[in-house]
Amino acid sequence: MNIFLAIFSHMQVDAWSNYRRFATSFFIGILILVFGYGSDIVFLQRKLKLTQKQIVMTRELMQRKKQQVQQDKFNQQEADFKHTTKPDELKPGFEVINILNSLEKAIFEAQVEPFLFEPQAIRENEFLVVYPIKVEINGGYKNLIMFINNLLKLPYSVIIEEMDLQKKIVNNLDSLNLRVLLAVHKNKKIKVRARSTVNKPALSIQIPQRDIFKQLNRRKNLYLWSSKELRFLGLIKQGQKTFGIVSDPLGGIHRVVVGDKIGLNQSQIMAIDKRGIVTTKQVDNIYCGE
């Protein structure tokens, strides 16, 4: 009997010990789960707050960007309005037919007789598209000057790359035959529109008292201005000679050849081509369009 009681009491002790170990393990497991889930919840909450903050910042940035774009668009529209003189100057596109129509109008107003009106192959590079057009006209001296003035007033960037002038006899009367190669430039990175004349008067060549295509005797007049004040207008070829046409600030027209001296420094002309005039001093060079 004592043996059974001893065995029973020993079993009770073992069961109580096993229960305590199980309870301890279970409690430790619960603590691990609680702390584990708790840390995950805290991490997710922080992540959620950070995400919400990023969303708010992104929305604010997009709103500011939208307002900036709208402001830039408004400023551009306001600038276009300020620099526009005629409603039809902002016609869309940059078609060759528009250029030809403008040249035809310039010829009609100058009362010269057209013989050739021929667009050439389009040239382009990274920045510009050039529309070359050959024009050949006949007329009197004053009419040709008027035609060049009309070219300067066109609502496009027009440069005379080549110019050839010859005397002709038409109906037993002396006449001048002018052949020019015009280059109309379009900037590929900027929207092309007609130039405004609101704040800048149109360039114009004043008709001198005598024929500019005859030999000039007053070349010393070019010493009165610096080379930066002189403007290269183009070339005239007569036989084997090439002449450069230069205008002064007062509207006078001068014909120069290689060997002449121009500018306050009296720099000697070394070469004349369609790009401009090259002198012995680089600072006194005169380029087309300047």
CATH 3.30.70.60 fits 91-187, yes or no: yes
Condensed to tens digits (0 to 9), the pLDDT of residues 131-186 reads 788 888 888 878 888 888 888 777 777 777 777 777 776 665 667 778 777 777 76
**Can you give the pLDDT at residue 49?**
72
Condensed to tens digits (0 to 9), the pLDDT of residues 249-265 reads 776 777 888 888 887 78
State mean pLDDT over 103-120: 82
**Separation CA 243–CA 256 (nearest Å):** 6
CATH fold group of domain 219-287: SH3 type barrels. (2.30.30)
In contact, 195 and 216? CB cutoff 8 Å: no
Instruction: Look up the pTM and report it.
Output: 0.37
State mean pLDDT over 268-288: 84
Q: Which of the listed ranges 110-114, 122-126, 156-160, 205-209 does the model predict with the highest average pLDDT?
A: 110-114
Percent pLDDT > 90 in the chain is 0
Non-local (6+) Cβ contacts of 259 within 8 A are 268, 269
**Can you give the pLDDT at residue 205?**
47
pLDDT band at 219 (very low <50, low <70, confident <90, very high): very low
**Separation CA 212–CA 252 (nearest Å):** 9
State mean pLDDT over 236-261: 80
- Using a 10 angstrom Cβ sphere, with 0-12 exposed, 13-18 middle and 19 or more buried, the burial of residue 34 is exposed
pLDDT band at 198 (very low <50, low <70, confident <90, very high): very low
